[in-house]
Structure 1
């Protein structure tokens, strides 16, 4: 099968979803033409340009860098349809109205290339019905492509074929979406609301039904249906506000109108209170009022009994909280069902009814149980999908409990569980996941793109990824290889909690590099996100309490030695980064020979937040960058390249993407940025192999780094004086920032003096230890450990 090449994308519709889909394509360096109606006055592309301007205000940011939006060309349907001939992929993303979509298809079809792919980003309309609006010759290259909001951050994309869709084309599109846009694909059947919304909206309807039945408060339910049961913090009713109450009502209406024979049809209607809020224009977060509202810092929640808002609070009953804390899911579900407290009965009921619904509809909506579970993980943020939750709770026993409740009239519908439920002990097994339509276990997709995912996400009961062969380990790291990939490229994984860097990790890094130099051809630093959250502050605090500042200085020196060991290793060291790489984690990243980074990598030197400066070589690396850049510039002024680094460190700036990490100097333009984090290990192993085959040579430690010296420090201090006088920074902020400036400028030396890398490391270390002795810094460290938030003192 030849590779599909997408040189340009067109997105039809500059609404919330269309504009963000276009932006994510632009994130991936794919030029985009974004269409909408011509403006009635002024610039014909005014609607699109207004949408693009609005994207700059959205948080989380749809664009990976500020420059991303420049790759999007504004267009309109009246003047620019000929631009469609340049596009390999056209994504329609206008409002969810069948007649509007069909009218647009008739307008654009004559301008599409015969080999272009045309896809509708609909959340639930029939793809088969939409295909009827396409000329017969184009139907083979038409499909549904359902992105979830926000498209940059939500992994799930549902692909929906019709009877006419070319299977090879769909495989190519899945491959492109997986690697180029970093998406996780579920092939959905062409049924209303597809997989994730079908199950997710039913789950919300079940929650609403049992909330009313048991007389619980909305805030109380959100405490019960959030992280306590493996769901996002927004839980149920906050999620409804975020999605938009009008959008939720629209999806519910779609189910009501298109699923008349569903045994749960009686529940496919918006509650009266939801309709009333919509009628009042209280649509949730976008109107600043919905189920919740916020005035100042006070969050209020709708109280149905009093028909007004009250202060949000709520609590979980101690006996219910105790049950939720149980580690054994079998015991947990038995206890929930047996407990008489309304909160426990509520939780059992919402799980039971979702299990019941999914079992009855598995054959209708999805190819197999794995697809349902992944759809709920990737689309709704559940930690486990419904089938794996059921399997963990004990498949047979839970099935019998559901049957008893159905027969007793306690369930939302009286439809019996399908016979296959009682014929199995599980739906997920090493050989595959159950397909009700085929009455068989289905293995994963065998598309070649998935061979790049060496550590794929798995469902409960599925075969686990290859754990490889351990070469050496200590309490902080594991050195191992994947012989099936490359037996001579080592993988170094930090194994501490949150991958914090303590003494055992430093010792492990130095030892692992020594072993790699002796026995291997290269080394990849890789483990699941986060990459590393920085130094182990608990160890630091214990040493401070014991007055062991000499030990702390030795630890910092060991940290610097570990960083330099990575940088000057005789084999290439590749850092495979995803998630947070903060503080010392960022310094490890900066010292690697090469970086392979997931787009969603959040990298930064954040030591200022706890009253410290980077001392694992971070300041030294920025000083080196300034020295190198100044040599290429007219005049050779080092300080020109120190200013940005100073602001970055002093403000503890964190890059909001791997692309931004390059701009801030934490990574290099020559590094690799991948959009699918599951491909990191594959790419990093091959990058290390390529560097080794090319005769990799480590950099020589520099003994003549030109630094900004005293004049540079003084210039930075002038900025700090203005900020202090304006009340923007405290006296301790001033002290910390001046220390950062001193390290970046090479210490109290003459301007343009030449010093060694080790000199700058010595300056970093001395300033770091001095700050550790300050009470305000110690208070900041304790506050961070206790609250997870910075203290401004």
Structure 2
């Protein structure tokens, strides 16, 4: 199969989805032309210009770094259609109206580049029907490509071919989306709402039905349908507000119009209260009013009994809460089904009806049960898909419970479960996942791109992952290798809770590096997200309470020694970073020979939040960066390069992407940034091998680092004085920030004095320990341990 090359993308439609798809392509270094209608007033590209300006204000941000916006060009259908000829991929993302889309296709088709892929980002319209709007000779390059909102963060993309779609083109597009945009792909059938929305919207319908049937409140239901059952915090009704109530109703309308023979079609209708909200423009989050609204600081929820909003609250019955804590899924479902309280009956009912729906429609909507389960995980944020949940709870026992409820009229539909349900003990097995259409187990995709995913998302019951050969381990780390990748490249994984760095982790890393220097060619630090959340505050807090400051100083010295050992190891140490790398975790990352980041890596030196400064070598690394940059600049003044680092540390700034991490100095320009987190271990192993093969040598310890000294500290203090006088920082914030300035500037020495790396390490360690002795820092540490939130004292 020849590799698909996409040099430029066009996106048609600058609405919420179109603009954010364009932003994510720009994140991936793919230039984009974003089209929309010519503006009725002002500049012709005003519609797109407004969309681009709006994206810069969004949080979470569609752009992974601010400079990405420059790679999206504004265009309009009136004067710029010829520019479509520059693009290898054109994604249509206009409103979900068939006639509008077909009209646009007729206008753009003559301008498409030969061989360019044209794809519709519809959430549920028929792809075959849309294809009729394309010339017959272009239909082999046409398909559906359904992104989920927000496109940067939601992993799922559904690919929907038509009968004429070129199979090799679709394979190439799947590989490109997987690696270049970091997406998780489900091949969907051309059925209404495809896979995730078909099941997800039915799940919402089941919640709506049973909420009304049992007389539950919306906020009460959200307490039941969030993390307690493995769903996102936004649960059901908050999610509806985020998605948009009008969007939800549109999808419901699509199901009602296109699925008249569905056994559940009687439920494909919009409740009157939801119609009323939309009629008055209360569409959810985008209008700041929907099922929920914010009044001042108070979150209010619609109460149908009061016909008005009230303060959001609600509670879960303690007995039901205890059932939900049960570890045994079979016991949990049995108790929910048997408990008379409406909350328990509600939970059993929504699970039962989704299981029932998925079983009946599996052959119609998906190639296998795996596709449904992964689509719900990736598209709706469920911890487990419906078939996984069912299988974990005891396939046959739950099937009998569902059959009994159907027989007694308790289910939402009277249609019987398919015969295959009672012929099996589950749908997932080591050999594959069940396909109802083919009545067989189907293995995973064999596309070469998936060989890069050493630990892909697995479904319950699937063949387990290869965990490699353990070479050595202690209570904090495991040193291991995968013989199928490169047996001479070791992998060291932090195994402590949340991958916090305590004594056992430092001892483990030191031992692992020593063993790697003797027996291996390179080392990769990798573990599933988070990478590491920093020092073990529990250990630090206990030592503070016991007044063991000499012990703490020794601990910090060991932390510094661990960082320096990572940096100066005699084999290349590559950090493979995904998720949070905070505090000491960030310092380990900064000291690695090379970094392979997942795009969604959140990296920062956050010690100021607990009244401390970076002392695992982070301050020293920023001082070294300033020294190196100053050597290349006229005059050689280091302070301009210290200033940004000072603000970053004092404000405890966390990079919101790997691209920002590099810009802030936590990484380097030559580091690798991968969009698919499942590929970073594969890439890191190969990066370590490449370094080993290129006669790599560790950086020498610098004996002469030019530091900003007293003048640098004084200049930083000037900024602090202004902030303190303005009431923006407390007296202790001032003290912490001055300690950071002292470490970054090399201590109270003459400006432009040359000191060693070890000198700076000793300065940052001394400042760190002095802060630990203060009452207010101890209060901050205690508060963080108790609440998980920083204290401003």
Report TM bin, short chain: over 0.9
Shift of 1:280: 1.2
Q: Does 1:542 align with 2:549?
A: no
Q: Does 1:337 align with 2:337?
A: yes
1:82-101 → structure 2 map (5 Å cutoff): 82-101=82-101
Match of 2:434 in 1: 434
Shift of 1:184: 0.1
Q: Does 1:406 align with 2:436?
A: no
Q: Distance in 2 between matches of 1:164 and 1:2?
A: 19
Gaps of 5+ in 1: none
Q: Does 1:485 align with 2:495?
A: no
Q: Distance in 2 between matches of 1:69 and 1:337?
A: 52
Q: Distance in 2 between matches of 1:37 and 1:281?
A: 24
Q: Decide which moves more: 399-408 or 290-299.
A: 290-299
SS in 1 for 2:409: coil
Q: Distance in 2 between matches of 1:485 and 1:578?
A: 20
SS in 1 for 2:410: coil
Q: Distance in 1 between matches of 2:148 and 2:467?
A: 32
Q: Does 1:288 align with 2:322?
A: no
Q: Does 1:19 align with 2:19?
A: yes
Match of 2:634 in 1: 634
Match of 2:256 in 1: 256
Q: Distance in 1 between matches of 2:42 and 2:734?
A: 50
SS in 2 for 1:67: helix
Match of 1:450 in 2: 450
- Alpha-carbon deviations, 1:489-512, whole Å to 9, x = none? 000000001100000000001110
SS in 1 for 2:145: strand
Match of 2:109 in 1: 109
Shift of 1:114: 2.2
1:4-43 → structure 2 map (5 Å cutoff): 4-43=4-43
Shift of 1:41: 2.0
Shift of 1:334: 0.7
Shift of 1:306: 1.2
Q: Distance in 2 between matches of 1:41 and 1:717?
A: 50
Match of 2:187 in 1: 187
Q: Distance in 2 between matches of 1:738 and 1:114?
A: 62
1:294-373 → structure 2 map (5 Å cutoff): 294-373=294-373
Match of 1:576 in 2: 576
1:133-212 → structure 2 map (5 Å cutoff): 133-212=133-212
Shift of 1:106: 0.3
Match of 2:62 in 1: 62
Q: Distance in 2 between matches of 1:55 and 1:102?
A: 28
Q: Distance in 1 between matches of 2:205 and 2:41?
A: 43
Question: What TM-score, normalized to structure 1?
Answer: 1.00
SS in 1 for 2:158: strand
Q: Distance in 1 between matches of 2:537 and 2:462?
A: 37
- Alpha-carbon deviations, 1:395-431, whole Å to 9, x = none? 0000000000000000000000000000000100011
Q: Decide which moves more: 729-738 or 302-311.
A: 302-311
* C-alpha RMSD of the superposition: 0.5
1:524-539 → structure 2 map (5 Å cutoff): 524-539=524-539
Match of 1:762 in 2: 762
Q: Distance in 1 between matches of 2:197 and 2:174?
A: 20
Q: Distance in 1 between matches of 2:86 and 2:302?
A: 51
Gaps of 5+ in 2: none
Match of 1:623 in 2: 623
Q: Distance in 2 between matches of 1:296 and 1:307?
A: 21
Q: Distance in 1 between matches of 2:114 and 2:772?
A: 67
SS in 2 for 1:461: coil
Match of 1:708 in 2: 708
SS in 1 for 2:66: coil
Question: What TM-score, normalized to structure 2?
Answer: 1.00
Q: Distance in 2 between matches of 1:504 and 1:576?
A: 21
Match of 1:118 in 2: 118
Q: Distance in 2 between matches of 1:624 and 1:466?
A: 40
Aligned length: 793
Q: Distance in 2 between matches of 1:297 and 1:420?
A: 53
Match of 1:380 in 2: 380
Q: Distance in 2 between matches of 1:614 and 1:313?
A: 40
Q: Distance in 2 between matches of 1:71 and 1:37?
A: 20
Q: Distance in 2 between matches of 1:625 and 1:288?
A: 45
Shift of 1:297: 1.2
Match of 2:500 in 1: 500
Match of 1:675 in 2: 675
Structure 1 stretches of 4+ moved >6 Å: none
